[in-house]
Amino acid sequence: MTDNVSLPIGTWRGVSFAVAQIDVLRAAEDLLVVGMLEKDVAGAHRGGAEAIDHALHGTLSRLREGGIFTGGFGETLMLTRPPAPIRAATLMLIGMGASLTGDPEVVGALTGLAMQAALRIGAASVGCLLGWSELDLPAPLVAPSAAAMMRGALAAIDAQEQQAASIAWTFDIRNGAAAHTTTALREALAAWR
Protein backbone atom coordinates (compact mmCIF):
# COMPACT_ATOMS: atom_id res chain seq x y z
CA MET A 1 0.00 0.00 0.00
CA THR A 2 1.47 3.37 0.96
CA ASP A 3 3.32 4.86 3.90
CA ASN A 4 0.00 6.32 5.07
CA VAL A 5 -1.78 4.49 7.83
CA SER A 6 -4.62 2.22 6.83
CA LEU A 7 -7.78 2.36 8.96
CA PRO A 8 -9.79 -0.89 9.07
CA ILE A 9 -13.55 -0.48 8.62
CA GLY A 10 -14.85 -4.06 8.65
CA THR A 11 -14.99 -7.47 6.98
CA TRP A 12 -17.50 -9.27 4.75
CA ARG A 13 -17.21 -12.89 3.55
CA GLY A 14 -13.40 -12.98 3.50
CA VAL A 15 -12.85 -9.40 2.34
CA SER A 16 -11.32 -6.99 4.87
CA PHE A 17 -12.12 -3.36 4.06
CA ALA A 18 -9.96 -0.39 5.04
CA VAL A 19 -9.40 3.22 4.03
CA ALA A 20 -6.15 5.08 3.36
CA GLN A 21 -4.61 7.66 1.09
CA ILE A 22 -3.23 5.57 -1.75
CA ASP A 23 -0.14 6.59 -3.70
CA VAL A 24 -0.74 5.09 -7.15
CA LEU A 25 2.95 4.79 -7.94
CA ARG A 26 4.09 3.27 -4.65
CA ALA A 27 1.10 1.02 -3.96
CA ALA A 28 2.30 -2.57 -4.16
CA GLU A 29 -1.13 -4.20 -4.23
CA ASP A 30 -1.96 -7.23 -6.33
CA LEU A 31 -4.58 -5.06 -8.05
CA LEU A 32 -4.71 -1.28 -8.27
CA VAL A 33 -8.03 0.05 -9.57
CA VAL A 34 -8.00 3.56 -11.01
CA GLY A 35 -10.90 5.46 -12.52
CA MET A 36 -10.41 7.42 -15.73
CA LEU A 37 -12.81 10.00 -17.16
CA GLU A 38 -13.68 10.43 -20.81
CA LYS A 39 -11.29 12.59 -22.78
CA ASP A 40 -13.83 15.34 -23.36
CA VAL A 41 -13.95 16.37 -19.69
CA ALA A 42 -11.84 19.52 -19.64
CA GLY A 43 -9.58 20.00 -16.65
CA ALA A 44 -11.03 17.13 -14.57
CA HIS A 45 -8.25 14.58 -15.19
CA ARG A 46 -6.18 15.23 -12.08
CA GLY A 47 -6.07 12.18 -9.82
CA GLY A 48 -4.67 8.67 -9.97
CA ALA A 49 -5.05 8.35 -13.72
CA GLU A 50 -3.08 11.54 -14.27
CA ALA A 51 -0.21 10.29 -12.08
CA ILE A 52 -0.15 6.99 -13.95
CA ASP A 53 -0.29 8.72 -17.33
CA HIS A 54 2.64 10.92 -16.33
CA ALA A 55 4.64 7.92 -15.04
CA LEU A 56 3.95 6.02 -18.28
CA HIS A 57 5.04 8.99 -20.43
CA GLY A 58 1.57 9.78 -21.79
CA THR A 59 0.49 6.22 -22.60
CA LEU A 60 -3.04 6.72 -21.23
CA SER A 61 -3.44 9.93 -23.22
CA ARG A 62 -2.34 8.13 -26.36
CA LEU A 63 -4.81 5.29 -25.69
CA ARG A 64 -7.59 7.86 -25.38
CA GLU A 65 -6.54 9.75 -28.51
CA GLY A 66 -6.39 6.51 -30.47
CA GLY A 67 -9.83 5.43 -29.26
CA ILE A 68 -8.40 2.27 -27.65
CA PHE A 69 -9.43 3.19 -24.09
CA THR A 70 -11.45 6.39 -23.91
CA GLY A 71 -12.70 6.26 -20.32
CA GLY A 72 -16.28 5.54 -21.39
CA PHE A 73 -18.52 4.41 -18.56
CA GLY A 74 -17.78 0.81 -17.57
CA GLU A 75 -14.95 0.38 -20.06
CA THR A 76 -12.06 -1.57 -18.52
CA LEU A 77 -8.40 -2.14 -19.30
CA MET A 78 -6.07 -4.36 -17.28
CA LEU A 79 -2.29 -4.26 -17.43
CA THR A 80 -0.46 -7.09 -15.75
CA ARG A 81 3.05 -6.30 -14.58
CA PRO A 82 2.92 -2.60 -15.50
CA PRO A 83 6.35 -0.98 -15.91
CA ALA A 84 8.20 0.89 -13.18
CA PRO A 85 7.65 3.11 -11.36
CA ILE A 86 4.23 1.49 -10.88
CA ARG A 87 4.61 -1.18 -8.21
CA ALA A 88 1.17 -2.84 -8.35
CA ALA A 89 1.15 -6.33 -9.87
CA THR A 90 -1.89 -5.50 -12.00
CA LEU A 91 -3.34 -2.13 -12.95
CA MET A 92 -7.05 -1.93 -13.78
CA LEU A 93 -8.40 1.21 -15.40
CA ILE A 94 -12.15 1.68 -15.26
CA GLY A 95 -13.89 4.23 -17.45
CA MET A 96 -16.02 6.63 -15.43
CA GLY A 97 -17.75 8.32 -18.35
CA ALA A 98 -18.17 12.06 -18.47
CA SER A 99 -19.08 12.61 -14.81
CA LEU A 100 -20.13 10.75 -11.68
CA THR A 101 -21.56 13.79 -9.95
CA GLY A 102 -25.18 13.24 -10.91
CA ASP A 103 -25.90 9.79 -9.47
CA PRO A 104 -23.95 8.23 -6.59
CA GLU A 105 -25.10 4.73 -7.57
CA VAL A 106 -23.02 4.73 -10.76
CA VAL A 107 -19.78 4.67 -8.77
CA GLY A 108 -21.22 1.67 -6.93
CA ALA A 109 -21.64 -0.15 -10.23
CA LEU A 110 -18.02 0.59 -11.14
CA THR A 111 -16.83 -0.62 -7.74
CA GLY A 112 -18.76 -3.83 -8.36
CA LEU A 113 -16.85 -4.28 -11.63
CA ALA A 114 -13.59 -3.80 -9.77
CA MET A 115 -14.55 -6.33 -7.09
CA GLN A 116 -15.54 -8.87 -9.75
CA ALA A 117 -12.10 -8.48 -11.34
CA ALA A 118 -10.35 -8.84 -7.98
CA LEU A 119 -12.27 -12.03 -7.25
CA ARG A 120 -11.66 -13.39 -10.75
CA ILE A 121 -7.88 -12.95 -10.62
CA GLY A 122 -7.57 -14.00 -6.97
CA ALA A 123 -6.07 -10.71 -5.77
CA ALA A 124 -5.03 -10.78 -2.13
CA SER A 125 -4.72 -6.97 -1.89
CA VAL A 126 -6.57 -4.24 -3.75
CA GLY A 127 -6.26 -0.46 -3.80
CA CYS A 128 -9.42 1.22 -5.14
CA LEU A 129 -9.24 4.76 -6.49
CA LEU A 130 -12.62 5.44 -8.04
CA GLY A 131 -14.92 8.42 -7.94
CA TRP A 132 -13.47 11.38 -6.12
CA SER A 133 -9.87 10.57 -6.85
CA GLU A 134 -10.67 12.03 -10.26
CA LEU A 135 -13.58 14.35 -9.50
CA ASP A 136 -14.61 17.16 -7.20
CA LEU A 137 -17.86 15.81 -5.78
CA PRO A 138 -20.27 18.25 -4.17
CA ALA A 139 -20.22 17.75 -0.39
CA PRO A 140 -23.78 16.34 -0.24
CA LEU A 141 -22.79 13.53 -2.64
CA VAL A 142 -19.66 12.34 -0.81
CA ALA A 143 -21.36 10.08 1.75
CA PRO A 144 -23.97 8.67 -0.68
CA SER A 145 -21.22 7.92 -3.20
CA ALA A 146 -19.06 6.19 -0.59
CA ALA A 147 -22.04 4.12 0.57
CA ALA A 148 -22.81 3.17 -3.03
CA MET A 149 -19.20 2.06 -3.52
CA MET A 150 -19.42 -0.24 -0.52
CA ARG A 151 -22.77 -1.65 -1.67
CA GLY A 152 -21.33 -2.29 -5.14
CA ALA A 153 -18.38 -4.18 -3.67
CA LEU A 154 -20.60 -6.20 -1.32
CA ALA A 155 -23.07 -7.11 -4.06
CA ALA A 156 -20.21 -8.44 -6.19
CA ILE A 157 -18.95 -10.52 -3.27
CA ASP A 158 -22.41 -11.92 -2.60
CA ALA A 159 -22.85 -12.79 -6.28
CA GLN A 160 -20.01 -15.31 -5.95
CA GLU A 161 -21.10 -18.88 -5.30
CA GLN A 162 -18.22 -19.46 -2.89
CA GLN A 163 -16.81 -17.24 -0.19
CA ALA A 164 -13.98 -15.07 -1.45
CA ALA A 165 -10.44 -15.95 -0.52
CA SER A 166 -8.91 -13.48 1.89
CA ILE A 167 -8.72 -10.04 0.26
CA ALA A 168 -7.45 -6.82 1.82
CA TRP A 169 -9.43 -4.08 0.01
CA THR A 170 -8.48 -0.44 0.59
CA PHE A 171 -10.63 2.48 -0.52
CA ASP A 172 -8.76 5.71 -1.29
CA ILE A 173 -9.77 8.71 0.85
CA ARG A 174 -7.94 11.58 -0.84
CA ASN A 175 -11.23 13.43 -1.38
CA GLY A 176 -10.87 16.03 1.37
CA ALA A 177 -13.75 14.45 3.29
CA ALA A 178 -11.97 11.43 4.74
CA ALA A 179 -14.02 11.27 7.95
CA HIS A 180 -17.37 11.44 6.11
CA THR A 181 -16.20 8.91 3.55
CA THR A 182 -14.98 6.48 6.22
CA THR A 183 -18.19 6.78 8.21
CA ALA A 184 -20.37 6.24 5.14
CA LEU A 185 -18.35 3.17 4.09
CA ARG A 186 -18.53 1.72 7.60
CA GLU A 187 -22.29 2.38 7.91
CA ALA A 188 -23.03 0.83 4.51
CA LEU A 189 -21.09 -2.27 5.50
CA ALA A 190 -22.95 -2.53 8.84
CA ALA A 191 -26.32 -2.06 7.13
CA TRP A 192 -25.54 -4.84 4.62
CA ARG A 193 -25.36 -7.45 7.35
CATH number at residue 17: 3.40.220.10
Note whether 37 and 45 are within 8 A (CB): yes
Cα distance between residue 58 and residue 64, in whole Å? 10
pTM of the model: 0.91
**pLDDT tens figures, 70-112:** 999 999 999 999 999 999 999 999 998 877 666 888 899 999 9
Give the chain's domain count.
1
**pLDDT tens figures, 103-149:** 888 899 999 999 999 999 999 999 999 865 556 677 888 899 999 99
- Euclidean distance between the first and final Cα of the chain, in Å? 27
**pLDDT tens figures, 41-78:** 444 445 688 889 999 999 999 999 999 999 999 999 99
Task: Write down the pLDDT at residue 97.
Answer: 85
Higher pLDDT, 141 or 13: 13
Cis peptide bond N-terminal to 85, omega within 30: yes
20 CB-near residues (< 8 Å, 6+ apart): 1, 2, 4, 5, 6, 7, 170, 171, 172, 173
The answer to whether residue 180 is domain-embedded is yes
Q: Is the pLDDT of residue 36 over 80?
A: yes
Task: Write down the pLDDT at residue 100.
Answer: 64
The answer to whether residue 28 is domain-embedded is yes
The beta-strand segments (E) located in 56-156 are 76-80, 90-95, 125-129
Structural domain boundaries enclosing 126 = 7-192
Cα distance between residue 71 and residue 74, in whole Å? 8
